[in-house]
Structure 1
């Protein structure tokens, strides 16, 4: 399959092309540098409601997730040894193509700059999967993607519950559906080692803050677009969720005054 995603070489890795799970798993799995409380507390005014630092951080996280999980799905289609692994790959490609389209649509409206490359940590995930073959690839893909999706899942819920920005809430609702679907797909492979999940999720990072820092594009650099190929039309779709509770999409509007009988 011809990839629509360009990845850099192995120069971002420290020491080796193959990064083991024991090294790469950390609380920063979402690939975004830990922000200070002061930065996250900053709030901007937008036509779609207040935009906090946490809201901006979330928008960038969604973009970063696609920049390495989309090509991970391509690897699954190419290297997976079971139909379940290949199906999981389809869901990764389609789900993140849809999320990427959404995040590229709202980012300029909110004044959020998006990265074009995965973080060094995320590139480590990709290089690990690129180097793996056979059943080793299947198990590594399922475990790495299950851990990362499991961690971001709770972060999405917090943003959806707390954000007062209409566009961010909509993105969080969509991301919640996609991530839950991807968790399910990883579990459906039968390759997830549940016993080791807690330890891998809470392992202490040793690579420093730059390991999870977004790399922003240079001025004039074309934006990377994640687009599912036509061959996946009708495949890889997340199940349609139950309709969410209605929300007020016009933050500036005041409640209507009841008519007097």
Structure 2
């Protein structure tokens, strides 16, 4: 991996972003009792994380379709679009049921990822794409497992099941590009730079702002979780 990517990751890459500013420092604190089980701060934060991840990875997947120079990179982009469109549908179903406000734009850190890849071209894009996405998915994989093993909320558990399958798939397709520098990626996952909470937190949606929807591709293979009593999806915006 080149020096440019190392600097990019050192400056930007640590994907365990916060949700909207927590009221308490205790992730296990119950913030609501719902018919699907207690909702903790960690549960709420996880729903926000999944939504925010799609808000940057979906457009980056679209970039890969246009800018990728190898078939493996293009396939990886297709998987990002497909997987995050399905996760987005699930998030938008369960968020109002749990009274969780979800973002319409990614965090500043995640926007930095978009900006870096948008400025790249050719082989540099392929390399940065594969390594940045491998770092972010490798880190969030642990968060998914923790939520799945600890949440008492059935809606959050269903989202974690779906996210587990999706994240593992995305890790796999990034590795299949043959471009992942494992030494650098594992270093970034285990010794992340300390960033201020403001860089890691997606802003809450503006009042009255239409909800951004990540539209599934025509040939979608990933499916959202089927949830009885879930509200109908919002109209597509953007």
With normalisation by structure 1, the TM-score equals 0.78
**Contact 2:30-2:38 at 8 Å conserved across structures:** no
Superposition map of 1:148-187 within 5 A: 148-187=136-175
Stretches of structure 1 lacking an aligned partner (at least 5 in a row): 1-18, 241-248, 250-261
Identify the match of residue 43 of structure 1 among 31, 36, 45.
31
Number of residue pairs the alignment of both structures matches:
216
From the superposition, tell whether residues 218 and 52 of structure 1 become closer, same or farther in structure 2 (CA, over 3 Å).
Answer: same
Match of 1:215 among 189, 193, 203: 203
1:112 has 2:100 as partner: yes
In structure 1, C-alpha distance between the alignment counterparts of 2:151 and 2:128, rounded to whole Å: 34
* Contact 2:38–2:152 (8 Å) recurs in 1: yes
2:129 aligned to which of 121, 130, 141:
141
Contact 1:31–1:122 (Cα < 8 Å) also in 2: no
Kept after mapping to 1: 8 A contact 2:10/2:193: no
Kindly state the Cα deviation for residue 214 of structure 1 after the two structures are TM-superposed.
1.7
User: What secondary structure does 1:228 align onto?
Assistant: coil
- Provide the residue aligned with 2:233 in structure 1: none
**Does the CA-based 8 Å contact 1:30-1:65 persist in structure 2?**
no
The question of whether the paired residues in 2 share the 8 Å contact of 1:25 and 1:203 is answered with no
Matched, 1:20 2:25: no
Gap runs ≥5 in structure 2: 1-6, 229-238
State the SS of the aligned residue for 1:43.
strand
The match for 1:95 is 83
Alignment RMSD (CA, Å)? 1.9
Q: Please say if 1:31 is aligned against 2:26.
A: no
